[in-house]
Amino acid sequence: GIARALVGDPEIVLFDEPTAGLDPPTARTICELAIKLRDLHDVSSIFVTHEMNNLRYLSSEYAVIDENGEVMFEKEGERLCMINTEIMMLRDGKVGFEGKDEELMRSEDPYIRTFVHGK
């Protein structure tokens, strides 16, 4: 599935629950692939997931190539803010939230709080 989608160097890739049923290390590898495509190859993506840890990772890590040519993953922080991740959350078939990951995490909406924080 994913390899076939990448043939032909697409400008946008749809990841539809690509980590469903995978163990955590393999799921992280899939997320890292999406990050590399975004940051090193300018490929936009739509990443459908119910896994909040995937969402947090995708919206807070970025890929760079170090002086040895190795791909490194770094956390977005004070010195760099380059990740343009937009979150869209559906509720009852309608858009229930649209915005940045920080806004999602701070939402006071009871449905969103339950989904994001389990509370």
Average pLDDT over residues 91-107: 91
Average pLDDT over residues 60-73: 91
C-alpha distances (whole Å) from 103 to each of 44, 100, 116 are 21, 5, 11
Every domain of the chain and the residues it spans: 2-80, 85-119
Convert the pLDDT of each residue in 15-45 to its tens digit: 999 999 999 999 999 999 999 999 999 999 9
Q: What is the pTM of this model?
A: 0.81
* Cα atoms in the 13 Å half-sphere on the side-chain side of 106: 5
Convert the pLDDT of each residue in 2-15 to its tens digit: 888 888 889 999 99
